[in-house]
């Protein structure tokens, strides 16, 4: 019997190395780790990826992001919990993520 579909685990393992290299580059760029986690969470929300939102909230919490900030990142413009640097990063992330909206 021959398989009609390639094992997804094999495909994913091939994709993991470039993803890990990208994450390593992102985290070595000098941006605060909590800011990166907030950006990841916000982009995941915009993209509607529930697994990414769940994982992003967990890793953000491990990085020390407070519950108030996690709960209000979707409304970061109105929430008082974010620094100017974080607001700039979130604005850039939203603009880049929403390119197709225009």
The 10 Å Cβ neighbour count of residue 7 is 9
Planar angle of CA 56, 18, 16, nearest 5 degrees: 60
Per-residue pLDDT tens listing for the chain (102 residues): 666 766 665 666 677 788 788 888 888 889 999 999 999 999 999 999 999 999 999 999 999 999 999 999 999 999 999 999 999 999 999 999 987 776
Residues in the chain, how many?
102
- For residue 9, the model assigns a pLDDT of 58
Q: Which two tokens stand for residue 69?
A: 């900030």
Residue-range domains of the chain with CATH:
32-101 (1.20.1290.10)
Q: What is the pLDDT at residue 36?
A: 95
User: How far apart are alpha carbons 74 and 77 in whole angstroms?
Assistant: 8
Tokens (6 digits) for 25: 């580059």
């Amino acid at each position: 019997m021959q398989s009609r579909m390639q094992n997804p685990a094999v495909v994913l393992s091939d994709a993991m190395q470039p993803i890990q290299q990208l994450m390593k580059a992102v985290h070595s760029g000098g941006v605060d780790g909590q800011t990166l986690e907030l950006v990841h969470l916000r982009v995941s929300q915009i993209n509607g990826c529930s697994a990414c939102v769940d994982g992003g909230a967990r890793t953000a919490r491990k990085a020390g992001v407070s519950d108030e900030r996690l709960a209000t990142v979707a409304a970061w413009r109105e929430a008082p919990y974010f620094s100017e640097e974080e607001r700039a990063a979130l604005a850039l992330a939203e603009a880049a993520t929403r390119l197709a909206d225009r």
